[in-house]
Each structure stands twice: as C-alpha cells, then as structure tokens.
Chains A and B, each alone.
Chain A
C-alpha cells in the first residue's frame, strides 16, 4: 500500500512540469558550478602538485557541487512538498485516501517515500557528474559518499518538514512559503550566536552539514537528521488523524 501511494505520488509529480523543471534547474546549476571548479582545478594543477598535503581533485571540483546542492534543495523541496497534502485537501481527494483501507501512517510514509525517491534521483545525477572525472583522474570515493549521504539526509529532513507544513494548510503556495521560511531559519540559525557552544549551533542544519562536506559522517549528525525526519512524519500523521476528529 505504501508503495502504491508512493507510485501514485511520483506519477503525479512527473505528470506536471514542475518536477522536470526542478530537476533541470538543479542539474543545470550544479553542472555550471562543477565545470567552473573543475576548470579552476586544471589551472591550479601544476601548483598543487608541488604543494604537500594540498587539496585534491575531489575537494576542489566535487565538494563545491554539494555546497550549492544544499542551497538548491532548500529552495526546491518546498516546491515539491507543498502540494503533497494541501492539494489533496483542496481538491477533496483526501476522502478517496481516507475511505480506502489504508492508515494515515501509510499515506504519509508513502508520500515521503515518493519524495525520497525524487531526492535519490537528484543525487544520482550529481553522482554521475562526479564520477565522470574518473575518466581522467582518481577521486576520493569516501569523501564523495560522505557528501552524498549528507545531502540525502538533509533532503529527507527537508521533505519531512515540508510534508508536515503541507498538512497545515489547504493552499499549496502558503505551504511552500512557510516551508522555505522554516528551512532558511534552521539553516542560518547559528548566525544568531557568536558562541560556538550555543544550542543554536546544535540545531543549525548548516553546522550539521559541514561535517559531511569534510568527509566526516558523525553518528550524532546522522541521528539528528533522522530524528528530525521521524519527528515531523509522526507529527504529520497525528495532524491528519486529529483533523478527522476536529474537522
């Protein structure tokens, strides 16, 4: 049942131009950054070869893609999650799902799974681009994988928050703007404090993601993203359940 919902969601996503536009936009911007940094690497190559412990191909050409990738996800995920629940409510199709023999959990998890699949697709395209340099050089695959994991975890946290916000309203655009505001808030929250020990750094997504970009997959960071994801999925389920009671 979960897969039936996910399948339906992906179908709806790709039958509108939005998903294609987002994919093209993300891919285009990342490709531009990739070519720019690859070019920079080629120019500085001779100099780097003489420097001991210099940054390698992966650090210079590939990691910047993920730096931009996180911002692109921050901007594009609200556009994809905005309609997931709010549009069902708006078009009265929620009754179709609720009167079918499936639980709220299956509905939410199915929709989340569709988003995760979409993210996986974006990451696959980025990974392909990164792997293309293996044609003429070697890459630090550990660093690449850490970055991929980091971006995926970041993406699913965004997706879960976005789905929850979509539950709160019947207007997709309101959901998109609200999600964007929340993501930006979580993103730059650490800027509010100069103290590195402050709790603001603990909840800041930016700080959490830095570790992955340096090739460090910390248990605490992974757990943080997973907890955020689960927390908002549970909130979404509770929210839909309570609507049946309150309406």
Chain B
C-alpha cells in the first residue's frame, strides 16, 4: 500500500442527486494496485450509486472518475475496458449457457478473439463453475448465477474490479470460497467491494470507507477500523448480578445493557477504560465477577458512533 504503487482508480467529489434527494455526496475513493477497498454502509447509504458512477452506468452530478489515468467522461470506452463490474443483481442472460455468456462477455470486453476460449476457461475455473459450463444460466441456483456474474467481471483481467455485494445470496461455504477468490484477485488487480457486513470487510479488505446517507463518514486502513471498534465495549458476567440500575449508578461513565441473565454489555462513553472500575466494584459489592471480555462493537454501534460524530 505504499504510494509508489500505481493508482488504478481515482474518484473525486462524486455527487449524485435525484431531484432534491442526494444519493451520494462528495464521495472520493483512491484505489492502488493490489489493494482491496471495502465500501461499508447500511442499506440505502449510497454504495450502489457510487459504484454505478464509477462504472459509467450513472453520470455523476458533480465530480469525476479516472481509471488508470483515463478520464471516464472524456474517454468512456478506454476507461471501461479496464473495469470489471458485478452489479447488485448478477447481469446474466438466463437463456444463454454459461459458456456462451462468458464468451460474449469476453468479446465485449475486447479480449483478442484467439484468447477468448482460454479466458473463458480460466474465469470458469477461478469461480468454480467449470462443471456447470454447459448448463443454461436460468437453471442455475442463485449462488452459481452470482459466480457467473463474478466470472464476467474478471474475464478480461481488468485493472479495477468492482463488486457490488458479491456474497449476497451465497451459502456459508460459498461465501468463504468467494472471499478467498476476492483476496486472490486483490493480489494482482485492485478491487472495490460493497457490503453491509462488517466481518466481511475485516476479513478481506485492506482499507474501508464507511458511507452513511451518501457521505463518507469513515476512511481508514482496516487496522484503524479494528482500533475504532475495540476497547469501547466490554462484556461482563456476574454470578450474583446486580440489577441494571445498580450497575449503572456504580459505573456512571458508561452505558450498560443486559445481554442475558447475569451478563451485561458495558459501553464506555468517555475515553476512560472502565475495566478496572468494574473489577473494583465487583469486589466491593460482591457481584462475583466470572467473565470479562473486550467485546468488539457491532456494526450497528459503529454506524451509530460514526453518524453521531458526523452530525
């Protein structure tokens, strides 16, 4: 992730308005070769809108996009040749066979005609649909259609791969496989993926941008996100638990809630670490503390925290 590596995508100040409704506001993304950036956000945060603008499916109201130094608005065809895009719904033709569809994708993406079948084979192998190659896409399950969608996005070995919620609709095993695949792709190409699953971002991305109501509210390396999540919330279990009001008055700088019987979630509202206070109070009031773990903030808490900051 050093700056010496090539900048493959640079989007600056992307804004998109639908009438008075602003779907994306001043979103900027820089992507370097070999990097995976995650766009994280709740539904309707503007992830898909941003991706549509980057891929030329939607014209931005303001701002510009450059793919490997080529301006998307001035030279759309040359810029698009360097992008592979998987939209939210896999853009497959149900009446075509997997082979036929990927051949079409390869041709449309300027793969030299001699190399088309080689590229199709390679892409099928990478996403694991080789044994389904003669099947009609319409007869495949959602998971396989999703894989075919990913295959069409990587068939021409693009510099930038843009995946909109690539693991939606897959079963847990397939999710792990696809995550592995994305990590591999991230070594040679650069990838942007969107998701609303925090764990997914932590599992595969190098950097994360969190969108909320169309604006970027967090933009940092993945270690920054971990730091942000850790140390804020503590889970504590007591053998002879106090009631919630008692605990709350004992720990004035925190927000307490019950997880299950005897187990509490304690969120620090100041920067001070409440751990030692909890231990001391437990001994003083003989609550019999038996469990104390630094729970990581959930995705909702992160969103809540970030949006509190931004507003």
Determine whether the beta carbon of A93 is less than 8 Å from that of B57: no
Q: Does B81 contact A (CB under 8 A)?
A: yes
Contacts of B89 in A (CB 8 A): 91-92
At the interface, is chain B mostly helix, strand, loop or mixed? loop
Interface 0/1 of B39-73, CB less than 8 Å to A:
00000000000001001111100000000000000
Determine whether the beta carbon of B96 is less than 8 Å from that of A100: no
| Chain A: CB-nearest residue to B88 | A92
Task: Tell me the minimal C-beta distance from B252 to chain A in angstroms.
Answer: 51
Determine whether the beta carbon of A99 is less than 8 Å from that of B57: yes
Partner of B56, one of A12, A15, A16, A98: A98
Contacts of A101 in B (CB 8 A): 76-78, 80-81, 108-110
Contacts of B108 in A (CB 8 A): 1, 4-5, 97, 100-102
A244 to B80, CA, bound (A): 15
Contacts of B78 in A (CB 8 A): 101
Q: Does A247 contact B (CB under 8 A)?
A: yes
Determine whether the beta carbon of A11 is less than 8 Å from that of B152: no
Contacts of B88 in A (CB 8 A): 92
Partner of B96, one of A5, A12, A94, A97: A12
Determine whether the beta carbon of B95 is less than 8 Å from that of A12: yes
Determine whether the beta carbon of B58 is less than 8 Å from that of A15: no
A97 to B93, CA, bound (A): 11
Partner of B152, one of A8, A15, A96, A247: A96
Partner of A244, one of B59, B85, B92, B107: B59
Task: Tell me the minimal C-beta distance from B152 to chain A in angstroms.
Answer: 7
A94 to B57, CA, bound (A): 9
Q: Does B87 contact A (CB under 8 A)?
A: yes
Q: Does B222 contact A (CB under 8 A)?
A: no
A16 to B93, CA, bound (A): 12
Determine whether the beta carbon of A98 is less than 8 Å from that of B104: no
Partner of B55, one of A92, A99, A102, A103: A99
Interface 0/1 of A3-18, CB less than 8 Å to B:
0110010011001100
Q: Does A43 contact B (CB under 8 A)?
A: no
Q: Does B120 contact A (CB under 8 A)?
A: no
Task: Tell me the minimal C-beta distance from B82 to chain A in angstroms.
Answer: 9
| Chain B: CB-nearest residue to A107 | B108
Contacts of B104 in A (CB 8 A): 4, 8
Determine whether the beta carbon of B91 is less than 8 Å from that of A92: yes
A49 to B174, CA, bound (A): 80
Task: Tell me the minimal C-beta distance from B73 to chain A in angstroms.
Answer: 11
Q: Does B211 contact A (CB under 8 A)?
A: no
Determine whether the beta carbon of B57 is less than 8 Å from that of A100: no
Determine whether the beta carbon of B95 is less than 8 Å from that of A16: yes
A205 to B18, CA, bound (A): 41
Determine whether the beta carbon of B80 is less than 8 Å from that of A247: no
**Which residues of chain A in 67-109 are interfacial with respect to chain B, using CB atoms and an 8 Å cutoff?**
91-103
A245 to B52, CA, bound (A): 11
Q: Which of A11, A92, A100 has the most CB of B within 10 A?
A: A100
Task: Knowing A11-B100, A12-B96, A92-B91, say if A244 contacts B58 (CB, 8 Å).
Answer: yes
Determine whether the beta carbon of B80 is less than 8 Å from that of A95: no
Contacts of A96 in B (CB 8 A): 87, 91-92, 105, 152
Q: Does B14 contact A (CB under 8 A)?
A: no
Q: List 10 A-B contacts (CB under 8 A).
A: A4-B107, A11-B100, A12-B96, A91-B91, A92-B88, A99-B56, A100-B105, A101-B108, A244-B56, A247-B18
Known: A4-B107, A8-B104, A96-B91. 14 other contacts (CB 8 A): A5-B108, A8-B93, A11-B96, A12-B95, A91-B89, A91-B93, A92-B87, A93-B91, A95-B87, A96-B92, A97-B108, A99-B56, A100-B105, A247-B58
* Ranked 8 nearest A-B pairs via Cβ: A96-B91, A101-B81, A100-B108, A99-B85, A92-B89, A101-B80, A95-B87, A93-B91
B interface, CB within 8 angstroms of A = 18, 52, 55-59, 76-78, 80-81, 83, 85, 87-89, 91-96, 100, 104-105, 107-110, 152
A interface, CB within 8 angstroms of B = 1, 4-5, 8, 11-12, 15-16, 91-103, 244-245, 247
